[in-house]
Amino acid sequence: MADIIQLLPDNIANQIAAGEVIQRPASAVKELLENAVDAGATEIKLIIVDAGKTLLQVIDNGKGMSETDARIAFERHATSKIRAIDDLFRIKTMGFRGEALASIAAVAQVELKTRRAEDELGTYIEIENSVVLKQEPCAYHIGTSISMKNLFFSVPARRNFLKSNAAEMRHIIDEFIRVAMAFPHIFFSLTSNGQQVFHLETGNLKQRIVQILGNSYSAKLVSVKEEMDYMNVYGFVGKPETAKKTRGDQYFFVNNRFIKSAYLNHAINTAFNEMIAKDSFPSYVLFIDLDPSVVDINVHPTKQEIKFEDEKIVYAFVQAAVKHALAQFSIAPSLDFTLNADIQGLDAISKPFTHNEQDNAASSNLFKTFTQRNQAHAIEPTNKNELKNWKEFFEPSAPKGDLLSGSSEENYFEYEKPFQSLVTSNQQSVTSNLQLVTHTSSYTIQHCLQLHNTYIIAATQNGFVLVHQQLAHERILYEKYSVAAHGTQMATQKSMFPVSLELVPSDAALLQEILPELQMIGYLIEPFGNNTFVIQGTPADVMHGNEKHSLELLIEQFKHFSSDIKFSKREKLVRCMARQQAIKSGQPLQPKEMVALVEELFTCNTPNVTPTGSPTYVEFKEDYLDRMFQRL
């Protein structure tokens, strides 16, 4: 019987490896940019056509390659960075596995031009499907240019899995930013379809952050810098006012390599405790430098997930560094030492400090507490007679009137009567009797009362319902937008004076991607070039004058909405719109508004829960209320 186990041919093995390394054009962007950085380049240009599907080219002015190196670079596991097994534990460069160029050559048509400073002529190589078609000398400047054309031309099935150009471009921009952010001393540019998206001049880290994230961060960054023998932490965190309702601009780098770490994110979030709202997320660009031997960066093909030898030390140090920076920002704001004219006119400033006044000041107890040894916490004895009536403070004052009497109660409108908390010794019994209604009920709403500007108590024929106003409105809007997004386009409220919206490139790419879906739910937005859009119209729910802010918030929510769940773009957008436009907790409502909201809720197909599964209301039935007060 013949043997059945065979070695895979090189071209098939390379395509399998490419499945791990090159999942989409953005994967190749990451690998090629990192190679250019490792080559010592001071200028790196990225050129994109059709979101990398047609062309993806990286040009650098690094040290270049010899003719032999240029040829062998496309072999599997060919690398200049590993000589012995111990080198794996001392890695300080970006690409080191030697899989990137071999994987790219397996799934695209590749052209390479390169020259070293000591060579008169450079080398030109053309590869297709892992096969070298041409190799010859060429005239070229010092550095390297790699062009990747027609990605996945040899694997049509994988090409079909690529998203739209706008979606793929957004991923490319993300990878570009992650590399450019880590190396502010290198010039980077990104050109897409002939239009320049980024032009990042060399500078310091703060300048690079502002170049990428926008001028709004210019005066809102707090410097972080802590050093110890084990590790260093440096970078910037955004001031509390830059916190967002979604995970916005958050970048972590370990030894200049971008990483994703929920563990370290938690360390920073806890450092911001009580400085930002619990449902907000801080912005930061932080770098951790530590010995490569205590970090394992080879645990994931993208090298974005790493392991630390001692995670607790890293966690504690990052948290402490951010806390220290925020404390300095909070308690040491900039001081203006020039005296106001009004202050200069005061007696203490304008008149001389006489000897008598000096003697009186020196003899005061306050002066002694600051000048005498061990007197910093001295407290003078007080007159005990002043405290003899301290118990009276805790005595209840006499009631001014009986609130339960008829004359007093008549002073309240029906919807303004006080609603006091019910205290029971058996909380579990109460909880078990709160019934979540799981079907559309026909209610006749009689009276409404708003509690804490968040809950609506609506009296019904057989009890009352406790409605959460924000969650209820979210359900109402979700069903409304769902109908629009799946065929019945909503009416657009056109603006008499269109508003222009300028976005950072990554957000501009995202907005371009979701324009068709936005149009279905009532937005009318036109691209204006150079990452600028004109808002010609909005859904009727968007308040006039709030067009720009609502769209910016929608983009921010869409970027980070349920990233762990594979919703369609349309479903994400509908959920984001419903959440954004819903009446917020804490907003006071008029009685008519409360009645209208509750009645509209019960016309929904699924009134009892939000799209994410949170209950919109709880029903208290009359028989349960009678049992609570032992009336049965």
pLDDT digits (tens, 9 = 90+) for 139-166: 999 999 999 999 888 778 788 888 888 8
Q: What is the pLDDT of residue 332?
A: 36
Per DSSP, 244 falls in state B
Length of the chain: 632
pLDDT tens for residues 503-525?
888 888 888 888 888 888 888 99
- Is 384 among the domain residues? no
- Is 5 among the domain residues? no
Per DSSP, 393 falls in state G
- Is 410 among the domain residues? no
What mean pLDDT comes out for the span 73-84? 60
What is this structure's pTM?
A: 0.68
In this structure, the answer to whether residues 191 and 220 fall within a common structural domain is: no
pLDDT tens for residues 8-21?
776 666 666 555 56
In this structure, the answer to whether residues 551 and 606 fall within a common structural domain is: yes
Cα 389 off chain centre by = 56
- Is 624 among the domain residues? yes
Out of 330, 360, 379, a domain closes at: 330
pLDDT tens for residues 245-289?
777 688 999 988 898 888 888 999 888 887 888 778 899 999 999
Amino acid code (one letter) for 74: F
In this structure, the answer to whether residues 485 and 625 fall within a common structural domain is: yes
Give CA angle at 207 (40, 238), nearest 5°.
120
Out of 176, 200, 224, a domain closes at: 200
Q: Which residue has the tokens 């007197």?
A: 375
In this structure, the answer to whether residues 174 and 253 fall within a common structural domain is: no
Q: Which residue has the tokens 């895979």?
A: 8
Distance (Å, whole) CA 387 – CA 427: 41
What mean pLDDT comes out for the span 190-196? 92
pLDDT tens for residues 341-394?
444 455 554 556 566 766 666 666 655 555 555 554 455 555 555 555 545 544
Structural domain of 427: 417-632
Asked if 25 and 53 count as a contact pair (C-beta separation under 8 A), the reply is yes
In this structure, the answer to whether residues 192 and 302 fall within a common structural domain is: no
DSSP 65-132: --HHHHHHTTSTT--SS-SSGGGGGS--SS--SS-HHHHHHHHSEEEEEEE-TT-SSEEEEEEETTEE
- Please name the helix (run of DSSP H) or strand (run of DSSP E) that holds residue 167, with its range, or none: helix 165-182
- pLDDT class of 93 with cuts at 50, 70, 90: low
Count of structural domains within the chain: 3
Give CA angle at 293 (289, 296), nearest 5°.
85
| Strand arrangement, sheet containing 492-502 | 492-502, 532-539, 524-529
In this structure, the answer to whether residues 86 and 146 fall within a common structural domain is: yes
What mean pLDDT comes out for the span 475-498? 84
Nearest to residue 454, comparing CAs of 583, 586, 581? 586
Q: What is the pLDDT of residue 361?
A: 66
Distance (Å, whole) CA 576 – CA 539: 14
Q: Which residue has the higher pLDDT, 561 or 267?
A: 267
- Please name the helix (run of DSSP H) or strand (run of DSSP E) that holds residue 623, with its range, or none: helix 622-628
User: Half-sphere exposure of residue 613, counting CA atoms within 13 Å on the CB side?
Assistant: 0
Q: Which residue has the higher pLDDT, 154 or 315?
A: 315
Q: What is the pLDDT of residue 413?
A: 35
Q: Which residue has the tokens 């053309």?
A: 126
b (16+ CB within 10 A) / e for 407-425: eeeeeeeeeeeeeeeeeee
Q: What is the CATH number of the domain that holds 157?
A: 3.30.565.10
Residue 620 has pLDDT above 70, yes or no: yes
Q: What is the pLDDT of residue 540?
A: 77
Q: Which residue has the tokens 């709160």?
A: 434
Reduce the DSSP state of residue 46 to 3 states and report it. Answer: strand
- The first and second tokens of residue 576, run together, are 């984001």
- Is 403 among the domain residues? no
β-strand partners of 455 = 451, 468
What mean pLDDT comes out for the span 214-219? 85
Out of 200, 230, 255, a domain closes at: 200
Distance (Å, whole) CA 495 – CA 551: 14
User: In this prediction, what percent of the chain has a pLDDT beyond 70?
Assistant: 72
